[in-house]
Amino acid sequence: MMARIHNLGFPRIGANRELKFALESYWKGGSSFNGLEKEARGLRQIHWQHQSHLELVPVGDFSLYDHVLDMSFTLGNIPQRVSKLQGTEIDAYFRFARGRAPVDTADDVVNAGEMTKWFDTNYHYIVPEFSANTEFRLDNSRLLSQVAEAQRLGVNPKPVIVGPLTYLWVGKSKDNTIKLELLEQLMPVYRQLLEELKAAGVQWVQIDEPILVTELEQEWHQQFKRVYQVLAGAGINLLLTTYFGQLKENLELVRELPVQGIHLDAVRARDEVQAVIDSLGNEQVLSLGVIDGRNIWKSDLTGLLGWLLPIHEKLKDRLWLAPSCSLLHVPVDLASEKSMDPEIRNWLAFARQKLEELQVLGQALNKGEKTVALALADNRQAIQSRRDSRRVHKPDVKKAVAAITPEMGQRSSPYPQRAEIHRYVLALPPLPTTTIGSFPQTTEIRTARSSFRSGKLSKDKYTDFIKAEIRQCVDKQELLGIDVMVHGEAERNDMVEYFGELLDGFIFTQNGWVQSYGSRCVKPPIIFGDITRPEPMTVAWISYAKSLTSKWMKGMLTGPVTILNWSFVRDDQPRSDTCFQLALAIRQEVLDLEAADIKIIQIDEAALREGLPLRKTDWQAYLDWTVSAFRVAANGVQDRTQIHTHMCYSEFNDIIQAISDMDADVITIETSRSDMELLDVFDDFRYPNDIGPGVYDIHSPNIPSVDNIVALMRKAMQRIPLERLWINPDCGLKTRSWKEVSPALENMVRAAAILRSEIA
C-alpha cells in the first residue's frame, strides 16, 4: 500500500541557465530553431532524469517562454495581430511573447502580450487575450510530442495543463466580451485535449486550478461543477491541483468535483487537509504538497513523518506526496553552490534537493523509517543546527524589534507644517525636477564591478572608479539644470542585493537563478538570520556626491518591504518580524544620512504592491505592517528633512489610503504610459502630500518631447495642485543609455521652465 511521490513542475531554465542563453542566441540570429529545439530537448531529458525516481513525472511544465503562453497556443487562442503575420508558428509564439520574431523586419513588430505576475509569485506570464472574435482550436502537438519523448525515456508522464477556469480567469477581455461566456466553446477543446492524451497512453493529467485559493465571484464558483462534469467524460484520471494558499470557502466545492485526485498546498493550507481527508471519495487520491515549492529551506522530515503516518495509514496508496507547487519558483541545484558558507548551505534545499526529500519521505512511509535512518538523522541535525544557531538568533535584534513604539513611526509635525519648513529650508522652484536614482549602468561600470569582484581590480581602484562615475553623473545633472540631484547608483548592481550584501543576516548564491519571465532570471538574496547593519552603507558615496555640488543631493535607499519581497525569507518567523528588522537597519541608515547633512532622503518601495496577499480579506493586515515598517524606517528624521518614496506603478486605487498613510513628503510614481489617466484616483481621494508623476517612460527607447512632457504635466495639474507637483521620470534610468537619457532629461528641464514661466 505504497504512497506515491510525484512532482508538479521542474524549473525549466536549466542549472546553468542553458535555456536563457539558447533563447538569446536564437533571438539574435546566432542559432537556428533546430539548435534551440535541440537544447530544449536536452534540458527536458536532463530534468526527467533528475525526476526518474518519481512515480509520475510532469510533462508540459517545460516551456520555451511561458507555460500560460503555451496553453494559449494549445488552445489556438492567438491574437489576430500576431497570427495574421507571416512566419512559422514559433515566430508567432515569440511575437506574442516579445512583440517580434527573430527574423522580423521592422514592419512586423507588433505589441507583445501583456505580462503580469503569476498569482503572488515573482514569475510573470503572458496574459491570454479574449475578444468577441476568440475561437479555440486544439493544437495538441506540443504536449503529445513531449509525452512521447518522456515515454521513450522510460518515465511515466503526467501532463500538466492550466485548467479552463484558471486559464480564463488569468486572461484579459480586450473588448466587452464576458470571459465566462467563452466557456461553452472552451470546454469541448479541453475535453478533446484530454481524450487525445488518454489515447496516447497517459493515465493521469495534472489540471492546475490555483484560482481555487482566491476569492471567487459567484459566477465563477458556479461554473466549476459543470465544467468538471464535462471533462470527467474524457475518461482520464484528473488530479485537480490547487496551490499558493488555502481553499477556505472553496473547500466545499473542491470536495464535490468529479475528479480522481485532489492536490492541496500542505505548506500554506495544512489545516485544511483533515477536512479534505474526511470527505474524500473511496477511490479518490489525495496529493499533499508537503515540501515548500516557494522557499529554499530544508523541510523538517521527521516532523512531517509524524504528521503523515496516520494519514498514510488511512489513505494507503491513495496518498501522494509532492512539493506544494511547481518547483519553478526555486533555483535548480544546491550542488552548484560550491563556495557558500557550509553551515548555512546545510540548511537549504533547491529543486533537486526537494525531490530528494520527497524520496526520503516516500521511502520512510513505504518501507519504514529504518531504511532511511541516515538521511533522517542528517536532516534532523540540519534542522536543529538552524534552530539553535547564534548566527540566526540575535537577542539584541529581537529586543530592538519588540521595543518599537508607535512614536518611532511618527514625524514630529504633520505634513503641512513640514512642507512649510521644506519650502523655507530647500527653497526649491515650483515643479522641481529630479530623477528616481540610477543613471545608465554602462558596460564600463559593469566591467569594473566584475573585475573588482574577481579580485582583478583593487578596492582603492574600484572606489576611485565609482567616484569618477559619480562626479560625471553630478556634472551632467549640473549641466542639465536638475534641481534635486542624485549620485547615480553606479556602485549598485541591484537595489536589493547592494543592501543585502552590506547587512548581516543575508547570504547570496552564485547560481541560484529563478525565472522571472522568458529568458530573464533573478537571483534573490536569502535572509537567513536576524538582521543588523554593521556600518553605514551609503553615507560615504552620498556625502562625496554632495561635496561636488551646491545643489541638493538626495540620499537613496531601498525600503524594508521591497528588500523583503525580493528575497527568499525565513520561514521560522512571520514575514512582518523580518520586515521590522529590516526597517530598523534602514532607519539607522536614514539617521546617519541626516546626520551627514543630507536633507532629502528617498526610500524606494518598488515592491510594496506586489506583496499584496492573494485574498483581499488579507490585504489590510499586510498593509498595516508594511506601512508601519516603512514608517519606522523613514520617520525618525527631523521635520526639516524631506522624505521621498518611489513606486514603480501607480495602480493604487485600491491601496491609496495605505500609500497616504506612509506619510512620505514626496512620492514619485510611474504614470507616463497611461497618459496620466492613472492619476484619476486623485479625483476621489485627496492624496495630501507631494507627488511626482513620471513623464518619461524609461521602459521605452523613445525620448519624450518637450511638448509631450508639458502636456502630461498639464494633465497632472488638473488633478493635483501645482505646489505639490514634481517633475521626474517614471523610474530609474539604469537600463537606458546616456544617448537617450541626456536629451530626455534636457526636455524634462525645458518643459519645467516653460511651465514655470506660465505660472509666473
Q: Is the Cβ of residue 360 or residue 600 nearer to Zn ion in the bound state? A: 600
Q: Which positions from 637 through 666 interact with Zn ion, judged by CB under 5 A? A: 648
Q: Is the Cβ of residue 486 or residue 731 nearer to Zn ion in the bound state? A: 731
- Residue among 57, 58, 64 nearest 39 (CA): 64
B/e letters for 167-176, b = 16+ CB within 10 Å, e = fewer, are bbbbbebeee
Report what 505 binds from Zn ion, ligand GLN, none; CB cut-off 5-8 Å by kind.
none
Q: Is the Cβ of residue 3 or residue 731 nearer to Zn ion in the bound state? A: 731
Report what 734 binds from Zn ion, ligand GLN, none; CB cut-off 5-8 Å by kind.
ligand GLN
Phi/psi for 37 (5° steps) reads: -60, -40
Q: Which entry of 124, 329, 422, 699 is annotated as an active-site residue?
A: 699
Q: Is the Cβ of residue 578 or residue 728 nearer to Zn ion in the bound state? A: 728
Q: Tell me which residues touch ligand GLN (CB under 6 A).
A: 436-438, 489, 495, 556, 604, 606, 646, 648, 731-732, 734
- Residue among 424, 441, 429 nearest 727 (CA): 429
Count the Cβ atoms, other than its own, within 10 Å of residue 286.
21
Among 126, 327, 486, 731, binds Zn ion (CB under 5 A): 731
Chain Cα centroid distance, residue 110: 26
Q: What's the DSSP call for residue 609?
A: G
| Shortest distance in whole angstroms from residue 193 CB to ligand GLN | 40
Indicate the SS3 state at residue 414.
Answer: coil
| Shortest distance in whole angstroms from residue 3 CB to Zn ion | 47
Indicate the SS3 state at residue 401.
Answer: helix
Phi/psi for 388 (5° steps) reads: -95, -5
Q: Please tell me the distance from the alpha carbon of residue 32 to that of residue 27, in angstroms, as a whole number.
A: 9
Q: What sign results for the dihedral spanned by CA atoms 693, 121, 113, 10?
A: positive
Q: Is the Cβ of residue 508 or residue 649 nearer to ligand GLN in the bound state? A: 649
Report what 438 binds from Zn ion, ligand GLN, none; CB cut-off 5-8 Å by kind.
ligand GLN
Stretch that binds Zn ion, among 44-52, 556-564, 588-596, 599-607 (CB under 5 A): 599-607
Which residue number has the CB closest to ligand GLN?
732
Report CA-CA distances (Å) from 469 to 428, 446, 458, 721.
Answer: 26, 12, 17, 37
- Residue among 233, 247, 349 nearest 298 (CA): 349
Report CA-CA distances (Å) from 287 to 21, 159, 578.
Answer: 35, 16, 32
Q: Is the Cβ of residue 43 or residue 490 nearer to Zn ion in the bound state? A: 490
Q: Please tell me the distance from the alpha carbon of residue 305 to that of residue 290, in angstroms, as a whole number.
A: 10
**Residue 272 · residue 286 · CB < 8 Å:** no
Report what 495 binds from ligand GLN, Zn ion, none; CB cut-off 5-8 Å by kind.
ligand GLN
C-alpha dihedral, 336 to 338 to 344 to 350, nearest 10°:
10
Q: What's the DSSP call for residue 393?
A: -
Residue with cell 488579507: 618
- Residue among 35, 143, 735 nearest 436 (CA): 735
Stretch that binds Zn ion, among 146-154, 160-168, 471-479, 604-612 (CB under 5 A): 604-612
Q: Is the Cβ of residue 227 or residue 436 nearer to ligand GLN in the bound state? A: 436
| Shortest distance in whole angstroms from residue 22 CB to Zn ion | 30
Residues sharing a CB contact under 8 Å with residue 628, sequence separation 6 or more, in sequence order: 409, 580
**Residue 297 · residue 571 · CB < 8 Å:** yes
Alpha helices (runs of H) in 481-574, residue ranges in sequence order = 497-502, 539-547, 560-565
Q: Please tell me the distance from the alpha carbon of residue 375 to that of residue 373, in angstroms, as a whole number.
A: 6
Burial of 282 (C-beta count, 10 Å sphere; 0-12/13-18/19+): exposed
312 is catalytic: no
Burial of 83 (C-beta count, 10 Å sphere; 0-12/13-18/19+): middle
Report what 603 binds from Zn ion, ligand GLN, none; CB cut-off 5-8 Å by kind.
none
**Residue 521 · residue 513 · CB < 8 Å:** yes
Q: Is the Cβ of residue 241 or residue 645 nearer to Zn ion in the bound state? A: 645
Residues in the chain: 760
Q: Is the Cβ of residue 202 or residue 603 nearer to Zn ion in the bound state? A: 603
Residues that bind Zn ion (CB under 5 A): 606, 648, 731
Catalytic machinery residues? 699
